[in-house]
């Protein structure tokens, strides 16, 4: 069972129970390959690689398809409206689902009367939920015995749903479901929920075995009232050294309290599925980040064999971490489809999306760091509280333990439960909050000891991992592009609009899905196709898959049929944790390589040549160094009478293995990095902040398509600016209802607020896989808010430790 | 299968141009009428009314509940799902179509207000297989990620170039200021539309 345990949970489980088998235990060879950063001291290393690995790739400039900024292959479908999202699926006889949700933030459901809804014309089925997903679960279910229905713990929690022949009928009938509630006291605000006399969200300690990416604490933590913790572990290890000794030996000790807000994902396509239950199996169209998580949860909750469930996701309209599993809407849709014997469409509306489909938890972070006058880090201490509503996982990531080596470290992370919608993973879960405080503290340290922030990082960013080596280059490249040398002292600008610049560093894990495979087929008319169940949430999965396969056949990417987003295809990774390209492309290249060599063997007799001399290049087949033998690819294959060639290959382990492996997640000791520079203008009279310019320098291993990587970096920066300046979920403490559950009042960056963004992308080789590709989505979003905050300080001479930087928060910071 | 579905299937099979003759019962209307017929529920409000529109150059007639919006008819009666709904309250512009050549939020346009007007959707923008210059530029400049906001963005940028072929960056920012792209593709939308403006202006200059 592929559970939805989060990266962080799994990481922490690994830390408790590490298993580090020898990578690629089969026959092997020693292979010389490229290592380092192109243009900055590229060298060769020797790795032990599986015997059947394809030869290593050269740098991108020497390749034909990989590394080229080609337009994405499904772009024409998207610009013409032909791309069909789950939202667009209309099946014959399809019914419209509509949920009934609780108006109360905390209540026991005493009775539910669905009879009027059932009688409403056009209604075909009604279903009442007997369990609620996407929430923490009581450790001892007996703490709530005697309740027939799940307890309501947030306003907007789903109770039931109807399926009807028209959307109007579904909407009307949903209003006719009569639910009798016994209201309970509620609490929605973080500070209030931590008070000893606060209403308790759960009547006992809770765990979160399955949280759509939102969990983040090991099981068995102490819990008092709404406060669960402390979790003192981190992804890269328990506390180390002795912080009090470290602080005592420090020349400089800095302290600060940081606060970050709840942010919602707001994918343009809301969550939803179309479920079609039939006697011979269940078909689900899902707007998802992981087709297999939908299949596996449906199998679990409906006791179906996985072979009888097919999940299809041709296009997903964004996800950003929140779209895993079937969700409560999916449970309801499948039940309704089974009852009505018809397909049921259940898409959330925009309000439901904000309220119940995930969010980034808030945080309060009390940070203390100690250092020598020369910048040497002596001790770091981070205590954090955060709320993910009824779900756990409000930590602040792993940056304190992993970004800068420090001999003495202590961290405590607490979850605070509130009567609010569940959190979910959100583009670098925890890490965005943690970097916001850490990188401001490092900036403050630089200022305090009179050292340039870049020089300080040169001194302390010494982990030696690939991401650390990349950041050193990124600091130099970024400083030059940005014009860092023109930086003025803090508060230099006379105002009233004060401009300043700042920088911050990014770090994310380099993650590989263990269970990843790809099938490549060659048909007898010269068609080449690649298959993976991985989905595309907007990153360009189809395109990078085709580019990698095209390289092996000497074809153009648009000549490859790239088929994804269907659980009938070979097992593929989740679009989460920045892992698809890293996981999928080596498997795809290896499958393509084997298929191409198989094909070469069958073509060789027709060319009167040895198989190993057959090469594929520029759309042709020929004998190496004999251009007069060249024949167009399709023509050559047609003549060879091959029937069909098919090779399915599993992803090999990274050549140096992993720091930890838990289930499907293989986490490298290396990471993915980045450095971002920002220029801001702060209107000190109105408190309005504008981010004017960002230079984002990033590494993602070998970029398979630099154009698509650049697009993702734009997106990460823009979401980061949006988080830094505007976004905030507002709940009404009295009712628990979200006040801005829409797009007009939940303020986000639009065209007018988009800064000028310049992207610099490194080409870096870690010599770990047959493509050496890594992800970029998350690191692009990690550093932005901290870079903006450091620029705010440089502009005004004041620290802003509270997000978002609304006029009220800005004016408060300026008064300090 | 309900009769409405079979009419709908006929409509789709017969093609939009032939449907002017057959009056299409909207999926949004049936239940209210059925409810009134069966007398179990007191349904208030006017009955379905016939509405004639011109969509992508073809005449279309539907019988529809007056509370229905244009985007609902486009998507669920005419099968034109390229036009998206992101918020259903005029805040995200994913539903942008042209009404008589001007961009409009189809989620905020009641179907009765679209009567007799010329409607262009994303499906009607290209000239056969030849993409509109804005569509072509969006492809070349990767002005899309997940693509859900893209049809609306394209419609607004194309309308801008109709209105002002030599549009500059500020014009483009203004034209899409009501559009939300959560993937954060704005820089490439600016580049693409600027490039398309160049291409359009050049094409016009060349005759």
Both A627 and A564 in a single domain?
Answer: yes
Q: Both A553 and A476 in a single domain?
A: no
Task: Report whether pLDDT(A427) > 90.
Answer: yes
| Residue of B58, B63, B50 lying closest to B80 (CA atoms) | B58
User: Which residues of chain B from 143 to 172 reach within 8 Å of chain A, CB to CB?
Assistant: 144-151, 154, 172
A92 chain-B contacts, CB cut-off 8 A: 1, 5, 9
How many domains does chain A divide into?
2
Q: Whole-angstrom Cα distance, residue A752 to residue A765?
A: 38
Please, are residues A311 and A291 in contact by the beta-carbon 8 Å criterion? yes
Q: Is A178 helix (H, G, I), strand (E, B) or coil?
A: strand
Strand partners, A366: A257, A383
Structure tokens at A603: 């073509």
Question: Of A596, A616, A650, which residue sits at a domain end?
Answer: A650
Question: Is residue A622 within 8 Å of residue A629, measured between CB atoms?
Answer: yes
Min Cα–Cα distance to chain B from A786, Å? 19
DSSP state of A308: G
Cα separation, A588 vs B134, in Å, equals 33
Whether the per-residue pLDDT at A584 is higher than 80: the answer is yes
**Within this chain, do residues A504 and A522 fall inside the same structural domain, yes or no?**
no
Q: Establish, for the pair of chains A and B, how many residue pairs have beta carbons separated by less than 8 Å.
A: 207
Q: How far apart are CA A259 and CA A637, in angstroms?
A: 63
Q: Which residues share a beta bridge with A71?
A: none
Top pLDDT among A22 and A114 is at A114
A157 inside domain: no
Identify whether A562 is part of a domain. Answer: yes
Put simply, the answer to whether B186 touches A75 (Cβ < 8 Å) is no
* DSSP annotation of A240: B
Put simply, the answer to whether A350 touches B89 (Cβ < 8 Å) is yes
Query: pLDDT, tens digit, for every residue of A702-739?
Result: 999 999 999 999 999 999 999 999 999 999 999 999 99
Locate the chain B residue with the closest alpha carbon to A708: B142
Complex prediction ipTM:
0.95
Half-sphere exposure of B31 (CA within 13 A, CB side): 22
Torsion of CA B133, B137, B138, B143, to 10 degrees: -150
A815 and A672, same structural domain?
Answer: yes
In DSSP terms, A127 is beta-bridged to A161
A674 and A807 in a single domain? The answer is: yes
CB contacts of B80 in chain A (<8 Å) are 81
| Secondary structure class of A71 (helix, strand, coil) | coil
pTM, 2 dp:
0.94
Distance between CA B56 and CA A79 in Å, rounded?
16
- The answer to the question of residue A771 being in a domain is yes
| pLDDT tens digit sequence for A189-228 | 999 999 999 999 999 999 986 444 445 678 889 999 999 9
CA distance A545 to A532: 9
Strand ranges for A102-146 from DSSP E: 107-113, 123-128, 137-138
Residue of A nearest to B142 (CA): A71
Same domain for A645 and A674, yes or no, is no
Q: Name residue, tokens 């530029």.
A: B137
Largest separation between any pair of C-alpha atoms in chain A: 86
* Residue A756 forms part of a structural domain: yes
pLDDT band at A146 (very low <50, low <70, confident <90, very high): confident
**CB contact residues (below 8 A), chain B span 25-54, against chain A:** 27-28, 30-32, 34-35, 38, 40-41
Q: Which two tokens stand for residue A744?
A: 């007009």
Show the 3-state SS of chain B.
CCHHHHHHHHHHHHCCHHHHCCCEECCCCHHHHHHHHHCCCCCCCCCCEEEEEEECCEEEEEEECCCCEHHHHHHHHCCCCCCCCCCCCCCCCCCEEEECCEEEECCCCEHHHHCCCEEECHHHCCECCECCHHHHHHHHCCCCCCCCCHHHHHHHHHHHHHHCCCCCHHHHHHHCCCCCCCCCCHHHHHHHHHHHHHHHHHHHHCC
**Residue A372 is assigned to a structural domain of this protein:** no
Give span(s): CATH 1.10.150.120, chain B.
133-205
Asked if A605 and A708 sit in the same domain, the reply is no
What is the average pLDDT value for chain A, to the nearest integer?
95
Domain containing A591 equals: 54-82+515-650
In this structure, is residue A197 part of a structural domain?
A: no
The burial of A413, by beta-carbon neighbours within 10 Å (0-12 exposed, 13-18 middle, 19 or more buried), is given as buried
Tell which wins on pLDDT, A539 or B27: A539
pLDDT for res B28:
66
Q: Does one domain contain both A642 and A526? A: yes
Contacts of B190 in chain A (CB under 8 A): 751
Pick the CATH number of B133-205 from 2.60.120.960, 3.40.50.1220, 1.10.150.120, 1.10.10.10: 1.10.150.120
On whether both A572 and A678 belong to a single domain, the answer is no
Answer whether B142 touches A (CB < 8 Å): yes
Q: How far is A113 from chain B (nearest CA, A)?
A: 17
pLDDT in tens, A614-666: 999 999 999 999 999 999 999 999 998 999 999 999 999 999 999 998 888 99
The mean-pLDDT minimum among A74-83, A614-623, B58-67, B173-182 falls in B58-67
**A281, part of any domain:** no
What are the φ and ψ backbone dihedral angles of A156, each rounded to 5 degrees?
105, 0
Looking at chain B, which residues constitute the CATH 3.10.20.30 domain(s)?
3-124
Query: Does residue A636 sit in the same domain as residue A694?
Result: no
Q: What is the CATH number of the domain that holds A721?
A: 3.30.365.10
- Widest CA span of chain B, in angstroms? 67
Predicted local confidence at residue A217, as pLDDT:
74
Paired tokens of A48 = 């032990």
Q: Report the DSSP beta bridge partners of residue A660.
A: A667
Q: Are A383 and A364 in contact (CB under 8 A)?
A: no
Residue that is last in its domain, among A619, A650, A681: A650
B126: nearest CA partner in chain A: A80
Distance from CA of B177 to the nearest CA of A (A): 5
* pLDDT range class, residue A234, cuts 50, 70, 90: low
Is A289 within the bounds of a domain?
A: no
Burial A605-638 (b: 16+ CB within 10 A, else e): eebebeeeebbbeeebbbbeeeeebbeebbebbe
Alpha-helical segments (H) within A698-739: 706-725
Out of B65, B72, B146, name the one closest to residue A268 (CB).
B146
pLDDT band for position B32 (cuts 50, 70, 90): low
Distance in Å, alpha carbon of B18 to nearest chain A alpha carbon:
21
**Do A716 and A805 share a domain, yes or no?**
yes
- CATH of B3-124 among 3.40.630.30, 3.10.20.30, 3.40.50.1100, 3.30.450.40: 3.10.20.30
* Ramachandran bin of A542, using left for φ above 0, alpha for ψ from -120 to 50, beta for the remaining angles: alpha
- Angle of CA points A473, A476, A480, to nearest 5°: 140
Per the DSSP assignment, residues forming a β-bridge with A500 are: A680
The residues, ordered by sequence, that sit 6+ positions from A181 with a Cβ below 8 Å of its Cβ are A102, A104, A107, A108, A109, A110, A152
pLDDT band at B202 (very low <50, low <70, confident <90, very high): confident
Q: Do A168 and B140 touch (CB under 8 A)?
A: no
- Give CA separation, A107 vs A49, A157, A453, in Å: 58, 10, 51
Same domain membership, residue A476 and residue A599? no
């Amino acid at each position: 069972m592929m559970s939805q345990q989060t990266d962080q949970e799994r990481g922490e489980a690994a830390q408790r129970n590490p298993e580090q088998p020898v990578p690629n235990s089969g026959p092997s060879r020693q292979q010389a390959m490229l290592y380092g950063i192109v243009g900055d001291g590229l060298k060769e290393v020797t790795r032990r690689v599986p015997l059947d690995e394809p030869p290593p790739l050269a740098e991108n400039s020497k390749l034909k398809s990989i590394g080229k900024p080609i337009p994405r292959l499904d772009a024409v479908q998207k610009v013409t409206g032909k791309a069909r999202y789950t939202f667009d699926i209309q099946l014959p006889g399809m019914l419209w689902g509509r949920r009934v949700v609780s108006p109360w933030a905390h209540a026991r459901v005493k009775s539910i009367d669905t009879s009027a809804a059932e009688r409403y014309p056009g209604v075909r089925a009604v279903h009442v939920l007997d369990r609620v997903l996407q929430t923490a679960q009581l450790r001892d279910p007996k703490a709530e015995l005697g309740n027939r229905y799940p307890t309501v713990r947030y306003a907007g929690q789903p109770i039931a749903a109807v399926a009807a022949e028209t959307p109007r009928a579904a909407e009307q009938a949903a209003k006719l479901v009569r639910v009798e509630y016994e209201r309970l006291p509620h609490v929605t605000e973080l500070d209030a929920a931590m008070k000893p006399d606060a209403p308790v969200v759960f009547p006992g300690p809770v765990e979160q075995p399955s949280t759509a990416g939102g969990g983040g604490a090991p099981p068995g933590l102490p819990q008092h009232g709404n406060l669960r913790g402390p979790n003192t572990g981190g992804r890269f290890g328990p506390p180390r050294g002795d912080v009090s000794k470290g602080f005592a030996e420090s020349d400089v000790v800095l302290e600060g309290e940081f606060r970050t807000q709840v942010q919602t994902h707001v994918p343009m396509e809301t969550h939803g599925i179309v479920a079609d239950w039939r006697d011979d199996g269940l078909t689900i169209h899902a707007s998802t980040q992981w087709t297999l998580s939908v299949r596996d949860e449906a199998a679990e909750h409906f006791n179906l064999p996985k072979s009888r469930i097919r999940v299809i996701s041709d296009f997903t309209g964004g996800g950003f971490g929140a779209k895993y599993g079937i969700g409560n809407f999916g449970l309801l849709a499948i039940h309704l489809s089974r009852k009505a014997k018809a397909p049921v469409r259940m898409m959330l509306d925009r309000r439901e999306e904000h309220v119940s489909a995930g969010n980034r938890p808030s945080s309060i972070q009390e940070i203390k760091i100690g250092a020598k006058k020369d910048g040497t880090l002596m001790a770091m201490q981070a205590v954090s509280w955060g709320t993910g509503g009824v779900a756990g996982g409000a930590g602040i990531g792993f940056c304190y333990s992993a970004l800068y080596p420090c001999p003495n470290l202590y961290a405590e992370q607490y979850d605070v439960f509130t009567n609010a919608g569940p959190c979910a993973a959100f583009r670098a879960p925890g890490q965005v909050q943690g970097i916001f405080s850490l990188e401001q503290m490092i900036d403050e340290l630089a200022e305090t000891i009179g050292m340039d922030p870049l020089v300080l990082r040169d001194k302390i960013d010494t982990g030696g991992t690939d991401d650390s080596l990349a950041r050193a280059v990124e600091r130099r490249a970024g400083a030059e592009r940005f014009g860092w040398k023109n930086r003025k002292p803090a508060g230099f600008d006379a105002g009233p609009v004060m401009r300043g610049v700042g920088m911050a560093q990014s770090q994310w894990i380099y993650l590989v899905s263990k269970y990843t495979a790809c099938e490549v087929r060659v048909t007898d008319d010269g068609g080449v196709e690649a298959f993976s169940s991985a989905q595309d949430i907007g990153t360009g999965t189809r395109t990078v898959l085709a580019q990698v396969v095209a390289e092996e056949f000497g074809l153009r990417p648009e000549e490859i049929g790239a088929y994804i987003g269907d659980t009938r295809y070979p097992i593929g990774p989740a679009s989460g944790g920045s892992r698809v390209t890293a996981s999928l492309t080596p498997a795809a290249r290896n499958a393509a390589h084997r298929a191409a060599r198989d094909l070469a063997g069958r073509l060789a007799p027709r060319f009167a040549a040895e198989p190993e001399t057959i090469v594929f290049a520029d759309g042709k087949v020929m004998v190496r160094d004999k251009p007069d033998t060249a024949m167009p690819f399709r023509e050559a294959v047609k003549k060879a009478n091959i029937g069909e060639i098919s090779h399915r290959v599993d992803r090999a382990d990274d050549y140096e293995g992993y720091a930890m492996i838990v289930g499907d997640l293989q986490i490298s000791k290396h990471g993915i990095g980045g450095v971002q520079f920002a220029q801001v203008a702060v209107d000190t009279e109105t408190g309005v902040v504008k981010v004017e310019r960002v230079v984002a320098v990033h590494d993602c291993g070998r970029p398979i398509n630099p154009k698509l990587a650049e697009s993702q970096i734009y997106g990460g920066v823009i979401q980061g600016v949006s988080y830094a300046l505007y976004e905030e979920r507002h709940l009404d403490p009295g009712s628990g209802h979200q006040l801005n559950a829409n797009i007009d009042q939940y303020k986000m960056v639009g065209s007018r607020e988009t800064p000028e963004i310049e992207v610099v992308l490194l080409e870096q080789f870690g010599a770990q896989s047959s493509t050496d590709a890594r992800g970029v989505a998350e690191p692009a979003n990690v550093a932005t808010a901290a870079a903006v905050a450091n620029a705010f300080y440089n502009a005004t001479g004041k620290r802003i430790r509270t997000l978002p930087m609304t006029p009220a928060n800005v004016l408060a910071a300026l008064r300090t | 299968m309900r009769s409405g579905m079979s009419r709908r299937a006929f409509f789709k099979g017969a093609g939009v141009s032939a449907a002017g003759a057959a009056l299409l019962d909207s999926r949004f209307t049936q239940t209210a009428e059925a409810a009134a017929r069966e007398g179990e529920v007191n349904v208030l409000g006017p009955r379905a009314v016939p509405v004639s529109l011109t969509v992508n150059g073809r005449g279309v007639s539907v019988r529809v509940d007056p509370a229905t919006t244009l985007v609902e008819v486009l998507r669920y009666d005419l099968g034109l799902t390229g036009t998206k709904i992101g918020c259903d309250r005029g805040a995200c512009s994913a539903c942008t179509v042209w009404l008589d050549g001007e961009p409009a939020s189809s989620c905020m346009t009641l179907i009765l207000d679209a009567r007799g007007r010329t409607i262009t959707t994303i499906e009607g923008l290209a000239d056969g297989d030849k993409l509109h210059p804005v569509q072509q530029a969006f492809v070349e400049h990767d002005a899309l990620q997940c693509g859900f906001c893209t049809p609306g963005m394209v419609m607004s940028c194309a309308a801008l170039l109709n209105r002002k072929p030599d549009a500059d960056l500020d014009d483009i920012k203004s034209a899409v200021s009501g559009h939300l792209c959560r993937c954060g593709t704005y820089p490439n939308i600016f580049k693409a539309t600027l490039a398309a403006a160049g291409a359009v202006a050049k094409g016009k200059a060349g005759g």
